[in-house]
Structure 1
């Protein structure tokens, strides 16, 4: 009887193990199928968006006969003139200038705040500074633009006796917008540096600041560069906040206090006033294609920075 009961017990255990393996196999297959479908859907969406924008943007050159060289280098934008002139160089220059200015302002502030959070006062950084930064991330861009419009633009107008709508105003607003992104990513990169490196540097007689400057920042350099590039990518594609404070003129700026225009502001201001399929409308889609290509460039830069070879160096 005991032998029979042992046999039945073993067969019961075997059935349970078999049923568990079947369930596990089903769950694995289901998970793989769902993940594959999601990945394929994401690829299809990206390719569809790229194809749609490219088909619209390239019509300017292959259907309307606009020269690519003149389109990129011409400094005059007059799509409704006779003849029409489609020069987007002022928009391209404005986008790069305002993005660069924002990065130059936000990068040292963001990395400095990350060092403060992780290295100097970690408890205060986690309890106070990090929630504040997360709060800044959640603020809509229109709020930044409205604050810049009501506070920053009048301040620049009073202090420098100019219009107020300027490259400087756009750069400051964008710097405030991308500051949380740079700070968060840089803080994560600095926190990932092994504590043994800090201890070894201090044991060799280096001061705390020498350790931060020569060891921590050097080890986290790829992550800090990634943070800056991510911030610049967001700044380059921002439309509403910049549009509210830069003046939106197609003239080339002569100083930080002159008004400018960007690719995003040019598209948002003019797209609703054009007819689908006209050369004017196609030119705006070409500007959107330039923005998409710049997004790809930023992604490529991030991939290059994140390569293991660069990190090891």
Structure 2
């Protein structure tokens, strides 16, 4: 029987190896393509002027290609979404995994799954039709499309990733840990936050990384609620993210403008990689 299973095991090992190899090849291909496509514009414009220039006028008679407003907008927007979304998502995951009755948890979990399945353009449409006018009236603004609206929409969009992964991590904590804590006299809530949550910290951190990736990489919803104007970011001004800068101009770009858009994509790619490296390093230090 073992001899019959061995060829099947070898075949499955080969399949798994090929799948992993293909994933690595895709990442390398994307990296190399962005580097080759993005470096020429950076060399022609100048690295300092490109990264720290405050004016983007790619179609002007004397074009400017400063992307500092896009970088700061993406940083502020992502940070704001994480500040709003992570506490809500984390507490919801704790509620579903450790507190809620099974029937209520199943209902809330279904709603979270539906939230994850809503297309980005629907988030953007609802934000444009409901949130933007509400912000305009509430804060007496000439135009409600702003960084504030983008932060709220992104915070809602990252909730499903944070909730689902965090809940799974919390449920994977061995029951023996919690039983030992309860036996020592800790209350249920103390056990959840002092035993279960630390034990599931790597999974919770992974959910935050997924949320950051979703927030940074979102374009369609953001372009509909942020105003898509290349301003230096303030909370209630129309702004443009790195992703929306590429999406809004790529269809008609050519020459240096097109190369500059690939350079923006390269900066975005490196930005995401840097965040992943930093978070993974912090997690390894915590484990050590």
Partners of 1:147 and 1:154 in 2: CA distance: 11
Q: Counterpart of 2:227?
A: 247
Partner of 1:180: 160
Structure-2 change in CA distance of 1:161 and 1:51 (3 Å):
same
Distance 1:282 1:222, change over 3 A: same
1:164 aligns with 2:141: no
Relative to structure 1, the CA distance from residue 216 to residue 173 in structure 2 (aligned partners, 3 Å threshold; closer, same or farther) is same
Paired residue secondary structure (2:226): coil
Segment drifting more, 44-53 vs 294-303 = 294-303
**Count of aligned residue pairs for this structure pair:** 287
Shift of 1:290: 1.1
Q: What 5-or-longer segments of structure 2 have no aligned partner?
A: none
TM-score under structure 1 normalisation? Answer: 0.85
In structure 2, how many angstroms separate the alpha carbons of the residues matched to 1:223 and 1:36? 25
Structure 1, unaligned stretches of length 5 or more?
1-16
How far apart, in 1, do the equivalents of 2:267 and 2:205 lie? 23
Structure 2 residue 195 is matched with structure 1 residue 215: yes
Cα RMSD of the aligned pairs, angstroms, is 2.0
Bigger radius of gyration, 1 or 2? 1
The residue correspondences of 1:1-313 to structure 2 (distance < 5 A) are 21=3, 23-62=4-43, 65-162=44-141, 163-254=143-234, 256-275=235-254, 278-301=255-278, 303-304=280-281, 307=284, 310-311=286-287
Summarize deviations over 1:27-48 as a string: whole Å, max 9, x none.
3333333333333333222222
Following superposition, the deviation at residue 77 of structure 1 comes to 0.9
Q: Give the TM-score, by structure 2 length.
A: 0.92
- How far is the alpha carbon of 1:122 from its aligned partner? 4.4
3-state DSSP of counterpart to 1:193: coil
Which stretches of structure 1, 4 residues or longer, exceed 6 Å deviation after superposition?
none
